Amino acid sequence: SIQMSISQKDLQKVAAILKSSPKVIFMVGAGISTGAGIPDFRSPKTGLYHNLQSLDLPYAEAVFDISFFKSNPKPFYTLAKELYPGQYVPTKFHFFMKLLQDKKLLHRVYTQNIDTLERVAGVEADYIVEAHGSFAENHCIKCHKEFSGDDFKKDVFDKKIPRCKSCKGLVKPDIVFFGEGLPERFFNQWEEDLEDLESAKDGEFLTITAGTSLTVYPFASLPSEVPKNQKRVLVNKERVGDFKSKRENDVVFLDDSDEFVESLCDLLGWRKELDSLIAKGTKDIKGIKHETAEEKAKEITEDVKEELEEEAKEDEKNLQDLTKDLGTLNLEKSRDPTSKSI
């Protein structure tokens, strides 16, 4: 078909670029992990926010809002249990990044994902910039003390609210919530990489943007800051952000990120290497749930719904108890001749 031959031509372009040993910078989002069964947040029908809209939350994103979290942390912890690393296997795209690391072509991975699947696939920490944080570390939001990951995980899986040993404040993973700033490393590393990009020879770098709607700033502005003499590739279900006004040397694939990787590796003769990386990288991951990202989004929504309902029941009961206590208080007061009625 015509569509195929076009993307075949584009694939050949990308393959040729990779053969010239460029420094590759990835800029990725949730779309590269949906194949692992992790829901993305923003897909119109299937994303997590779409599903959460049906619940009694001030707004869908409230589960990641720092002020909502302070008043009601349970929905987030419920979600954290479902998204917690260790339950998911990296995708072909994740292993492709590892393959480029092995081939000494990887320069950096900027990820918006909190699932740590880049690490799980074997990409070294120095290469990874987790722009929106991750579950790797946890801190008390009051006194900022670090809280052990094992303790946090145990509490979350036991449906207990993780609290600081010192000040009893709420503990949250170092995931960037709405209303919080991005990690220092994001800004520092990008400043350094951008300097390298700007002083590089034509085509010395290749940036691959994949699986992101490019709507959350400041991350969304990264591709637009790439100098025009460096090549950019977009792999996504639709054209997004700065790729809507296509630069002449952009290559755009409106495609699934795993399928893109398969086709590209086939063309480069790297398929065997990729497959053996995947086999090696996944053999130790046990007890994996095999659900689609859509099923997962629905399941998380059900869990959060139960939490909210329990919370509402508890509030109702507390209110009744309070009313009862006040009633008793009034009765006692009215029996006491010395007291004036309230």
Domains with residue ranges and CATH for the chain: 2-305 (3.40.50.1220)
Cα–Cα distances (Å) from 19 to 90, 103, 193, 263, 270, in that order, read 25, 11, 22, 15, 11
The answer to whether the annotation marks 265 as part of a ligand binding site is: no
Q: What is the pLDDT of residues 163-186, one digit of tens each?
A: 999 999 999 999 999 888 899 999
If pLDDT is split at 50, 70 and 90, which confidence band does 235 have? very high
Q: Which of 35-49, 194-208, 214-228, 325-339 shows the lowest per-residue confidence on average (mean pLDDT)? A: 325-339
The answer to whether the annotation marks 146 as part of a ligand binding site is: no
The answer to whether the annotation marks 215 as part of a ligand binding site is: no
Task: Tell which wins on pLDDT, 326 or 156.
Answer: 156
Contact 223, 110 (CB under 8 A): no
DSSP code at position 206: E
- The pLDDT value recorded for residue 325 is 76
- The pLDDT value recorded for residue 342 is 43
If pLDDT is split at 50, 70 and 90, which confidence band does 341 have? very low
The answer to whether the annotation marks 212 as part of a ligand binding site is: yes
The answer to whether the annotation marks 21 as part of a ligand binding site is: no
For 58, half-sphere exposure in the C-beta direction (CA atoms, 13 angstrom radius) is 11
The answer to whether the annotation marks 30 as part of a ligand binding site is: yes
Contact 43, 136 (CB under 8 A): no
Closest CA to 148 of 135, 161, 131: 135
The stretch 62-78 carries a mean pLDDT of 87
The stretch 32-55 carries a mean pLDDT of 73
The answer to whether the annotation marks 237 as part of a ligand binding site is: yes
Mean pLDDT of the chain: 86
If pLDDT is split at 50, 70 and 90, which confidence band does 6 have? low
Q: Which of 87-101, 144-158, 207-221, 287-301 shows the lowest per-residue confidence on average (mean pLDDT)? A: 287-301
If pLDDT is split at 50, 70 and 90, which confidence band does 194 have? very high
The answer to whether the annotation marks 31 as part of a ligand binding site is: yes
- The pLDDT value recorded for residue 173 is 93
Task: Indicate which residues carry an active-site annotation.
Answer: 132
**What are 58's two structure tokens?**
């001030």
- The pLDDT value recorded for residue 17 is 96
- The pLDDT value recorded for residue 58 is 75
Q: Which H helix or E strand runs over 251?
A: strand 251-254
Q: What is the pLDDT of residues 242-253, one digit of tens each?
A: 899 888 889 999
Contact 210, 31 (CB under 8 A): yes
Asked whether the predicted pLDDT for residue 54 surpasses 70, the reply is: no
Pairing mode, strands 171-175 and 133-140: antiparallel
Q: Which residues of 32-57 are buried (b: 16+ CB within 10 A; e: fewer)?
A: bbbbbbbbbbbbeebbbbbbbeebeb
Strand order in the sheet with 133-140: 146-147, 133-140, 171-175
The answer to whether the annotation marks 33 as part of a ligand binding site is: yes
pLDDT over 70 percentage in the chain: 87
Closest CA to 76 of 138, 8, 143: 138
